[in-house]
Amino acid sequence: MTKVAIWCRHQKDNIIGIGSDIPWNVPSDAQKFVRMATGQNVVVGRKTYETFPERTLPEARIFVLTSDSDYEVSDVQKHLVIGNLKMFKDFDEDLYIAGGAKVYEQFFTTAPKLLPEIVVDCVYRGELNPECKGEIADITSCIGVLNKKYVKISCDYEKDNVTTAIYVRRGEFVDQAVLKKLLSEIEG
Ligand SMILES: NC(=O)c1ccc[n+]([C@@H]2O[C@H](COP(=O)([O-])OP(=O)(O)OC[C@H]3O[C@@H](n4cnc5c(N)ncnc54)[C@H](OP(=O)(O)O)[C@@H]3O)[C@@H](O)[C@H]2O)c1
């Protein structure tokens, strides 16, 4: 099983969201995320789940983290409500970690078994949308771990003010098929 974290963060401050919004609008980056998540096992926090159009992703099995065991998902066949991350310590399928900040943070800082083998690090270099208001979600704690425990294995892909690169955990065996798929999806 391979755990892949995918995010798009703002350069320098590592902001990924303000309130319920991503404070930039880069359709090619959003499309790249959907290509990578389509048909996969995807884990998200409840707040991020509620930002997905129609609260879904094409053909994906979505694990929605919430403390509300009565939470109603949009597709009871494919979306599962979970109350903690324990099941992912020994999950035997590939898993795509799609945020938000609270979820990335738990995968990166709480237990070695949760640490992703691969990170798709997208960095937005433009301005933040000043109209977005609310709580700031940033992943600075995860970037600290990325810098210490991972090595960049791809070149930088530049598109629409977003630089994308793939990192793998140092010393970790990484499934080449997963890497190949990610590279082709990044290139579009
Ligand atoms: N730029 C990007 O790549 C990217 C990616 C994803 C999201 N985002 C942005 O990030 C922001 C949301 O991030 P966020 O950190 O505020 O929220 P979040 O991580 O999406 O969701 C947080 C919620 O998840 C639930 N949760 C998390 N860990 C849990 C656990 N261990 N047990 C039970 N429930 C748990 C709780 O739901 P309950 O309150 O229901 O208990 C918690 O309030 C939004 O702005 C979104 O647009 C950006």
Per-residue pLDDT of the chain (188 residues; tens, 9 = 90+): 999 999 999 998 999 999 999 999 999 999 999 999 999 999 999 999 999 999 999 999 999 999 999 999 999 999 999 999 999 999 999 999 999 999 999 999 999 999 999 999 999 999 999 999 999 999 999 999 999 999 999 999 999 999 999 999 999 889 999 999 999 999 88
Is residue 110 within 8 A of residue 100, CB to CB? The reply is no
If you take atom 24 of ligand 1, which residue's CA is the nearest one? 45
- What pLDDT sits at residue 148? 98
Distance 132 CA to ligand 1 centre (A): 17
What are the chain's domains? 3-187 (3.40.430.10)
Does the beta carbon of 154 lie inside 6 Å of ligand 1?
A: no
Does the beta carbon of 32 lie inside 6 Å of ligand 1?
A: no
**Beta-carbon-side half-sphere exposure of residue 59 (alpha carbons within 13 Å):** 7
**Global pTM?**
0.98
Distance 106 CA to ligand 1 centre (A): 11
**Beta-carbon-side half-sphere exposure of residue 58 (alpha carbons within 13 Å):** 8
Does the beta carbon of 69 lie inside 6 Å of ligand 1?
A: no
Is residue 28 within 8 A of residue 133, CB to CB? The reply is no
- What pLDDT sits at residue 172? 87
If you take atom 1 of ligand 1, which residue's CA is the nearest one? 16
CA distance 22 to 132: 8
Looking at the DSSP bridge assignments, the partners of residue 120 are 6, 166
Give the angle subtended at the CA of 63 by the CAs of 18 and 172, to the nearest 5°: 90
Nearest to 8 by CA among 88, 94, 101: 101
Give the angle subtended at the CA of 96 by the CAs of 45 and 33, to the nearest 5°: 90
